[in-house]
Amino acid sequence: MTRITHIALDDANMPPPTPEIDQERKVAMFDLLEENSFVLPARDKGPAPEGPYHLSLSIRDKRLVFDVQTEAAEKAAEFHLSLGPFRQVVKDYFQICESYFEAVKKLPPSQIETIDMARRGIHNEGSRVLQERLSGKAEIDTDTARRLFTLICVLHFGG
């Protein structure tokens, strides 16, 4: 019961994503819902509400907001993270993704593979930053962090 079963992105006030970014979002959401690990720690007043959880991600007042509810629509947690620690890695990730999307159209497989390895490295860095920022608020595994980082990038795209 330590998992996310529903995820929503509040991207209503953002420009429409490119087809490539939209595809990244769809894949990340599908993969996240298929397999993830999301644990809320015990609180001062007792145990955390039990999952599974519904997660809403948004950017409000230049902060990344995780709004977590139980399946019964009860508030489980809400935390706000500064976007500052994510800015550079998100920027780097978008730049390498643009290079990758262009490379796929016209470069040989060996060059595409090199760009993809760099893309994965930046993606891993973003997921590591996310795990650090969530420390004490929620415990997530590496795959969950990678997928959530992709969704944060999609939100950050317009932010």
Chain segment 38-69, per-residue pLDDT in tens: 999 987 778 888 889 999 999 988 899 999 99
The pLDDT of residue 159 is above 50: no
Q: Which residue has the tokens 């992709």?
A: 150
Tokens representing 8 are: 């929503």
Q: Which of the 8 DSSP states describes residue 46?
A: B
Tell me how many domains the chain contains.
1
- Domain span holding position 138: 4-158
Beta bridge partners of 57: 9, 66
The alpha-helical segments, DSSP class H, found in 81-141 are 84-106, 109-133
Report the predicted TM-score, pTM, of the whole model to 2 decimal places: 0.90
Hunting for tokens 């932010």 — which residue is that? 159
Rounded Cα distance, 9 and 6, in Å: 10
Task: Provide the 8-state DSSP code for 43.
Answer: B
